[in-house]
Amino acid sequence: MDMVKKQKSGNQQSGAAEAVPPLFIFALRNVTEAAARTVYRTIGRGQRDESNALAAAAMRGELAKLPISATVVVGDAHKDVNNMSASLYNGEKIGDAARHTEFDIAVDPVEGTGYLAKGMTNAMAVIAMAPKGTLFEPGPAFYMEKFVAPKEAEGKVDPEAPVADKLSDLAKALGKPVSELTVFVLEKPRHNGLVESIYKAGARVALYPAGDVAGALMAAIPDSGIDALMGTGGLPEGIISACAIRAMGGVFLGRLDPQLMSEKAAVKAAGLDTKSWLKAKDWVRSDQVYFSATGITTGLLFSGVERTAGLERTETLIISGATGDRQNLITYRKLINDAPDGAIGSGQEIENA
């Protein structure tokens, strides 16, 4: 396809699955939990930039402990030579290629930084990894239109169809009336028409100010209370979601949908296709993916970080493409020094449920 003409084609499979230790996914969880625990103190304090920098630094420290050589293909920023430590930027190298298995990384140290600063819902730390050369490289693109649904809808919904037709086809695939469908939509002015169309079709809308990844995963998980995700959100969040959905199953369709004039010009100059809808297997061209997300503030998918009675509680979702398994891990750590800065070294893990 034109959109991927400058990238490696085919369903590339790497030898990463054989080289990665079986418990690697459990080690990856430390990366997102470190970020979530570190930014706990910034919740609702208006510290958007500080929270992202803290989370990025915590992730970078934990990633350095893993037996990998990796490149950040989809980061939370392009390289800022004036403040390189403030983000995990596109093109950043992690680890030692001479000794370790090579990966592409898609990461968002804090998904929903603005809403975290306001103490709002659905903020999380999230990362996905796939063998080197298998993640779509977004270049100057930043926005993606998405359609996500459970695996029962595979091949049964045309993303180009009118909203009412899409919902009718989805309802048939799921075996329920349109009136029982609930669609996750980001609460943005650009979605006003979409929301009205969903209402007119007779379905429900779950509007959230943030939580693109959470909404996509909920839409792919059967009986989650969310039957589909529709609308335009961040492309990085889209690729991260595609990784998770490729691993656990579900329908993920996306196309580049630039919103700003500068983005439209840059995407056009890069020769990227904004018309074709691609499946999860196009956004990540391997099923050997690893995904971890930890709640920072409580939302649809899981609870946020909680501290009470000398204990710190985190909830993390991990998904392994090698097995297709997904697990929710609830961890309690004893706070040795209940310091206000929420330092990572302040807790000792005592229970994992």
Stretch 41-47: mean pLDDT: 95
Stretch 328-332: mean pLDDT: 96
Q: Using alpha carbons, list the distances in angstroms from residue 293 to 128, 225, 249, 272.
A: 9, 20, 17, 29
pLDDT at res. 147: 98
Asked if residues 181 and 228 have their Cβ atoms less than 8 Å apart, the reply is yes
pLDDT at res. 220: 97
pLDDT at res. 85: 65
Instruction: Indicate the helix (H) or strand (E) that contains 69.
Output: strand 68-74
**Do the strands 124-131 and 101-111 form a parallel or antiparallel pair, or are they unpaired?**
antiparallel
Token output for 137: 């490289």
User: What is the tens place of the pLDDT at every residue in 142-153?
Assistant: 999 999 999 999
Stretch 200-207: mean pLDDT: 98
pLDDT at res. 86: 73
User: What is the tens place of the pLDDT at every residue in 280-304?
Assistant: 999 999 999 999 999 999 998 999 9
User: What is the tens place of the pLDDT at every residue in 228-244?
Assistant: 999 999 999 999 999 99
pLDDT at res. 218: 96
Asked if residues 285 and 134 have their Cβ atoms less than 8 Å apart, the reply is yes
Q: Which residues does 252 contact at the CB level (< 8 Å), separation at least 6?
A: 146, 147, 148, 216, 220, 241, 242, 245, 246, 279, 280, 283
For each of the domains in the chain, give its residue range(s) and CATH number, in order of start.
Answer: 2-135+289-352 (3.30.540.10), 143-283 (3.40.190.90)
Q: Which residues does 110 contact at the CB level (< 8 Å), separation at least 6?
A: 35, 39, 51, 52, 55, 76, 116, 123, 124, 125, 296
Q: Positive or negative, the Cα torsion across 31, 37, 250, 138?
A: negative
d(CA 347, CA 345): 6
| Res. 341: pLDDT tops 60 | no
Instruction: Indicate the helix (H) or strand (E) that contains 106.
Output: strand 101-111
